[in-house]
Structure 1
Amino acid sequence: MSRGPSTFRQQDVTRALRAAAAAGIDIERVEIDKNGKIVVVASKLKEQTGGARSTNEWD
């Protein structure tokens, strides 16, 4: 049994991850569907979840 054609390459995933990291995005996971579509899922920022950055030390 032979494999079907490759829909994506490791190089494509690497480029997507490097671009996201260069944009300052924290990466939670990567999803790749059967058609070869690469989806980079970003993690929630600390500012949006009420982390230490969004609190005011004077309050």
Structure 2
Amino acid sequence: MSCEHLICARCSNPVIEGRCPTCRISRSELHRHGPSVPPVLVLAALVAFLFAAVVLQRMQ
């Protein structure tokens, strides 16, 4: 669901603008997402895993 087309019942403005406390609360609830992992961190973990795999393979 998106708040782009929602109108606030309290201030009669688009919720996306967040003009009143009710708009801001509704907007934050609609756009709340779980914690995300930055792509750089995923790439760094992948590189570290590949490096560890290469090191372990050469030790055998």
Q: Which has the higher contact order (CA 8 A, sep 6+)?
A: 1
By the TM > 0.5 criterion, same fold? no
Higher strand proportion: 1
Larger radius of gyration: 2
TM-score, with structure 1 as normaliser: 0.33
